[in-house]
Amino acid sequence: MAAAPVGAAPGARRARWSLRRRLVAVVLGLVLLVGLAMGTVSTLALRDSLVAQVDARAVAAAERAVRATQGARSGGDDTAPAGRPDLAPRGDRPPPLGVPGQDVGTVSLVRTDGATRAQYIDADASFVDLSAAQVAALQDVPADGAVHSVDLDGLGTYRAVALVTEGDDLVVNALPTAAVDATVEQYVVIEVLAAVGALLVAAVGGSLLVRHELRPLTRVAATAARVAEQPLGHGEVAITARVDERDTDPGTEVGQVGAALNRMLGHVEQALAQRHESESQVRRFVADASHELRTPLASIRGYTELVRRSPDELPPDALAALARVEAESVRMTALVDDLLLLARLDAGRPLDREPVDVAALAVDAVADAHAAGPDHDWRLDLPGDGADGGEPDDDLTVLGDDHRLRQVLANLTSNARRHTPPGTRVTVGVRRDGPDVVLTVADDGPGVPPELRDRLFQRFTRGDASRNRAAGSTGLGLAIAHAVVTAHGGTLTCTSAPGRTQFVARVPAAPP
């Protein structure tokens, strides 16, 4: 009798990131992308510009060297560096490597008449000879006056310019790019640090901003959740929850959602009020109709009885017909009473709330049932009544309506009598279970027909119609029992299988 859960099957949807997480992730992604692009472009530009400077210096160094070499050949002495007479070119000496104005780290190679000399200026401004491999690498530089990159084994990467002098000498000058690489490296480190900082700021700032911006949405969702928790199933329900005024600004997206939700809640409330109104009308109608039917039914019963009291004047056929009329009017009176009671229970009419000893009710119910159905095997099962004959251990009192609770028991026992064959054992039990008094009516009859089990407590649910109608069945007995027990704050359930049918009513016990 449990309702199937409404909504999407769990697990059908893969867990997704919240909007906040996604927004922050997008912001971080964009910051990272922009940072990468800017970093790459600026690093390349910086590198290009630094290399261009080195190139310019390399070209200048090469030109100085060429001039010095040509000067040496023509015997001039204008290229002797100050204080370095040993470097002063002389006609009988090979052209100098040491040319004024050359930087530390400058590599020079001069090849004259087949003789090649190559040195570089180290940090102490001394000249250091190059190895054969380094010389070979320098000699491979195309002598086109353009700047080329050379890898000098052990010295690193150089920008080299090779020129041929008018005297057909080869002059190669190269400057190291180590400083450029170091500068670029440092720049990249700074950039990475700055990017990490920017990412952190974007993460924290973005997260705070998104949280702040989404707060109205959270409030709107909270309102919707509050309404969703409200029981709207039946009765008079007022949906008082509304989205706050500040979250309904139509200028913002969230405000539109809030305003739409408010409009929807208004409509739902109106619809529910209408539903309640029409429900109450129907209920009033049923109650009024049942009430109105009681008086004419009483008259019919009275008059038939009156006529039957003077049997001499009537033929036997008419007497039999009158007996039918009387029986049917009795049945109809019971039906009308049931309908009236249900209508009143539906309307939520307050019940009596007096202490009722359920054990005493059970004793009476079993006695009545035994009188009505002597062919059944009636049993009573109360706690503490047994061999020792002691007092019942537990308090089996509930607060409620004695008359209505009797009716519950009468309906359950009459069902056990009428829907089972003679000889069936029926046990009426009362026990205490924690805060509840539990009343059970169990039989070992054939059980409730399976097609009825899902709607057993609904009105006009009954088994095999013709047979039951002949036995005075209305299909309202269990509906009434259910409504009465529910009105007492309790539950009525049924478990049924062939050979074991049990109705269990659980009602909160009276406070001690």
Ligand X SMILES: Nc1ncnc2c1ncn2[C@@H]1O[C@H](COP(=O)(O)OP(=O)(O)O)[C@@H](O)[C@H]1O
* SS3 label, residue 463: coil
Contacts of Mg ion in 106-125 (CB under 5 A): none
Lookup: tokens for 512: 């001690």
Q: How many residues bind ligand X (CB under 6 A)?
A: 24
Question: Residue 419 interacts with ligand X (CB under 6 A)?
Answer: yes
State the Cα–Cα distance between residues 79 and 66, nearest whole angstrom.
11
Binding segment toward ligand X, per CB under 6 A, in 7-15, 264-272, 357-365, 440-448: 440-448
Task: Find which of Mg ion, ligand X, none residue 501 binds, CB within 5 to 8 Å per kind.
Answer: ligand X
- Secondary structure string (H, E, C) spanning 195-210: HHHHHHHHHHHHHHHH
Euclidean distance between the first and the last CA atom of the chain, given in angstroms as a whole number: 34
Which position has the token pair 């190559």?
118
Question: Residue 420 interacts with Mg ion (CB under 5 A)?
Answer: no
Binding segment toward ligand X, per CB under 6 A, in 119-127, 156-164, 355-363, 416-424: 416-424
CB of 8 to ligand X, least distance (A): 36
Return the residue of 399, 452, 486, 493 that touches ligand X, per CB under 6 A. 452
Binding segment toward ligand X, per CB under 6 A, in 147-155, 239-247, 319-327, 460-468: 460-468
Return the residue of 439, 445, 484, 487 that touches ligand X, per CB under 6 A. 445
Pick from 110, 13, 107: nearest CA to 57 = 107
The neighbouring-strand residues paired with 175 are 159
Return the residue of 102, 304, 415, 496 that touches Mg ion, per CB under 5 A. 415
**Residue 3 DSSP code:** P
- Closer by beta carbon to Mg ion, 62 or else 505: 505
Contacts of ligand X in 464-503 (CB under 6 A): 468, 473-479, 501
Q: Phi first, then psi: give them for residue 369, nearest 5 degrees.
A: -65, -40
Pick from 183, 179, 119: nearest CA to 152 = 119
Which position has the token pair 């329900």?
237
Which position has the token pair 């805060």?
435
- Closer by beta carbon to Mg ion, 98 or else 373: 373
- Closer by beta carbon to ligand X, 336 or else 416: 416
CB of 342 to ligand X, least distance (A): 11
State the Cα–Cα distance between residues 511 and 496, nearest whole angstrom.
32
C-beta nearest to Mg ion: residue: 477
Return the residue of 447, 486, 493, 508 that touches ligand X, per CB under 6 A. 447
* SS3 label, residue 94: coil
Q: What is the DSSP string of 159-170?
A: EEEEEE-TTS-E
Contacts of Mg ion in 443-482 (CB under 5 A): 477
Question: Residue 332 interacts with ligand X (CB under 6 A)?
Answer: no
Binding segment toward ligand X, per CB under 6 A, in 45-53, 67-75, 399-407, 445-453: 445-453
Question: Residue 507 interacts with ligand X (CB under 6 A)?
Answer: no
State the Cα–Cα distance between residues 116 and 69, nearest whole angstrom.
13
Question: Residue 94 interacts with Mg ion (CB under 5 A)?
Answer: no
State the Cα–Cα distance between residues 489 and 426, nearest whole angstrom.
26
Binding segment toward ligand X, per CB under 6 A, in 158-166, 188-196, 342-350, 415-423: 415-423
CA atoms within 13 A on the CB side of 168: 3
Site residues for Mg ion per CB under 5 A: 415, 477
Positions in the binding site for ligand X (CB under 6 A): 411, 415-416, 419-420, 443, 445, 447-449, 452, 456, 461-463, 468, 473-479, 501
